[in-house]
Structure 1
Amino acid sequence: MEAAWAAGAVARMLEGGPALWLAPGVPPELPADVGAVVATSGSTGDSKPVVLSRTALRSAAASSQQRLGAPLTWHLALAPHYVAGLMVLVRSHAAGRSPVLGATDLSDARSTGEGDALSIVPTQLHRALRSATVTARLAGFDAVLVGGAALGRELRERAEAAGIRIIETYGMSETCGGCVWDGVPLPGVEVRIVPDARAPEGSGRIALGGQMLFDGYLGGEAPAGEFLTGDFGTFDGTHLVVGGRLDDVVITGGVNVDLGRIRRAVEAREPDAAVLAVPDEEWGVRIVLFATHGDLGAWRGALAADLPRSALPRQFVLVDSLPRTAGGKPDRSALLEWVQS
């Protein structure tokens, strides 16, 4: 979708114009209260059509602006047909400012000097920090939101040391994008921890609620007041700590291992890497690491400082580049095919 067209279409939709079909396939006739239909950006290559009302979109934008404390000029450096890019345009409309349309590599990112915000993913930040020029320009923004994947501590520290004002966001298509910033829910966002046997001891399944919640998947039922995410974590009433994916807790060699923890350790050293658990006759499942450099011994040695022996990868696959879904996440289905071929 061409960004300039998307910006105008989002403005018209929010002012009562036609709903936006941003999912794959031919759009059906949509109910009048629908604002946009976006696709989930899952890591398996599959996606579901998520129905977002105008009320939810406006609420999410208003709570973002309330947290920031002032209307800002939003810069679009993400695909506008995914929720993160869509919300940049919705927040722009709520702020009463025209969005600045830029390149995804951030090479043309420049603040206006009148209050600016940018929304990106960790891979974009990692690559931007390779350029002293781009890094210096990002330091001129009032807020740089980073979401879509876990932000490694080392990557955040490098960015903040360069003067970049980082805000790590947590959310998904079903919540109009990031609704928890730096662990703190945005105004009006409700967080609850639900007991789940799959979650590590002391944590539970994360449930999110509020006006920013989706109306359900197209053709399905609306959520009953909250959305049960696929993530586990802890919440003390003020601060949410996201532990990882519930389906990322696997048993290898008789030991429970959290793939999310492994991914965070790997991505702290190399964001352009991926971790996968695959069936194994001896271990039950084995941990496979995909990266563009190194070997198994070197990676196991480096990761041993942060991970127990049971969580270290048992197979290494050297790749020229990672296959990614349309949403920019490592394509786990493609990675699994590489291991099995």
Structure 2
Amino acid sequence: MIKNIVTITLNPTVDKSTTVENLKPEKKLRCTPPKYEPGGGGINVSRGLARLGIKSVALFTCGGRTGELLEQLLKEENVTTSTIPTAAETRENFIVVDTSHNEQYRFGMPGEDITAAEVKDIAKIIHGLSPTPEIVVISGSLPPGIEPAFIGMLVRELKEKGAKVIADTSGEALTEVLKEGVYLLKPNLGELSTLTGMKDLDNESADEAAKQLIDEGKAEIVVVSLGPQGAYLVSKDESIHVPAPSVKKLSTVGAGDSMVAGMVAILAQGGSHKDMARMGVACGSAATMSTGTGLFTKENAERLYKWLSR
């Protein structure tokens, strides 16, 4: 049983969500009372792990009144936190669901600049983690002030200390991460196509593309997210497709992070690759059954996992 798990979120957020009937421009809209929830890739993974009974430490940058609210919200969800203070205010995102059409509008706000001194503090804190985490999840976007190469450096140091690094990021940060190689990577078809140079990927060719990344030493395990079609888990010796169960979709916010949480939970318990893929798809699908940014409920995730394991 792996007990020392750390998630890293360098551009966290507080997600504010509400609903309104018949969204129209230049009209005063009567919204329901807002709901505030923690957000950001690694933070959501820690939230998901907590729901599955797996302990982790959510390490994230934190500043201002929004940062204080973020800490309080995570405390209410029984997530252990370790914060890196910043002068910049922690950002907010805004999600609105138009109930007349069940359409979701997601407004992502940019983070404020992280100073050069704060970047050094982040590196020092992560370098000084003791004992070295057995699993480290680096997930989410980068705020202004942090260069993509910084993430590559973190991956290299953590690997040298023996940590299994799981990465779920995008763009230049993902490119830098793959220069170092990770234990597990979770791209979607579009990202996989960009990383491998293989165009027009589908379910069949995704297997080949994932194996290319593994052969190049960029990852030991590649889990290709296929959205409503489930996921492919590919390792050096295995190729496992898990179809997504049919559920009533209310929101896609946090589905990818929930998928990572499900896989890490099984990995922490010494489970098989097949069970990792099943729990990942189960948690990702269960997250779409929740409104706003609510992630998944343990009951829905476990029910879907049992269904996928039949």
TM-score for the superposition, normalised by structure 1: 0.30
The structure where strand makes up a greater share of residues is 1
The structure where helix makes up a greater share of residues is 2
